[in-house]
A and B are shown apart, each in its own frame.
Chain A
Amino acid sequence: KQEVTQIPAALSVPEGENLVLNCSFTDSAIYNLQWFRQDPGKGLTSLLLIQSSQREQTSGRLNASLDKSSGRSTLYIAASQPGDSATYLCAVNSGYSTLTFGKGTMLLVSP
């Protein structure tokens, strides 16, 4: 059974810092991996999708990498801003179409 772990559970940084969020998964036979953002009381916003054959994806200040063989992904956020404050969720698609989620990293960026 696929299990997804996210470290750290919470992170607080001052505005402007570059930061890395980590995601690990137990079964490397995946189709893709998605990173989501969730604001308090809201649904999930898809940030990036990395296919199993890809090593990284970039969108603006966000860069996600994937090392399938070691079961790891990282989300890099450059020049963090207070508006980046949210919970970031990593989810793995193991080929059965449904997603297995981690518990998320709660990020607080202070001005």
Chain B
Amino acid sequence: GAGVSQTPSNKVTEKGKYVELRCDPISGHTALYWYRQSLGQGPEFLIYFQGTGAADDSGLPNDRFFAVRPEGSVSTLKIQRTERGDSAVYLCASSLRTGRKDNEQFFGPGTRLTVL
């Protein structure tokens, strides 16, 4: 089966514009996670979904960031009024379940966002 896929792979936008980043999780995985990785840093958690609902959105930096997963599969991360500081690689991961010690997360290739 296919792994986690993310589109686009690269996105260049201008300051102030709106962007959407898409994630397709592994089929059958109920949990989906968004992380952000800045240059030279490890990924940082943004939000995670269990099914259609956001179980934890404590990592979203401000209200310009929003994510949805309307049918419990594909998720879209939305960023309004982009700023240069939003430039980073946005990583999506999925896992079969949560709350268990064998919960393994599988990552997609990421979307590199550049805000000019």
Contacts and interface: CB of A to CB of B under 8 A. Distances in A.
Contacts of B105: 34, 46, 99
Contact of A93 (B35, B41, B55, B103): B103
B79 interface: no
A101 B42 contact: yes
B110 A103 contact: no
A98 B56 CA distance: 9
A31 B100 contact: yes
Contacts, number: 73
Contact of B101 (A52, A96, A98, A103): A52
B21 interface: no
A93 B98 CA distance: 10
A32 B101 contact: yes
B31 A97 contact: yes
A42 interface: yes
A36 to B, nearest CB: 7
B2 to A, nearest CB: 14
Contacts of B107: 36, 43-46
Contacts of A108: none
A49 B42 contact: no
Nearest to B33: A98
A91 B106 CA distance: 12
Nearest to A102: B42
Contacts of B42: 4, 89, 91, 101-104
A43 B110 contact: yes
Interface of B: 4, 6, 31, 33, 35, 40-45, 48, 50, 55-56, 59, 91, 93, 95, 98-110, 112
Interface of A: 4, 31-32, 34, 36, 41-46, 49, 51-53, 89, 91, 93, 95-104
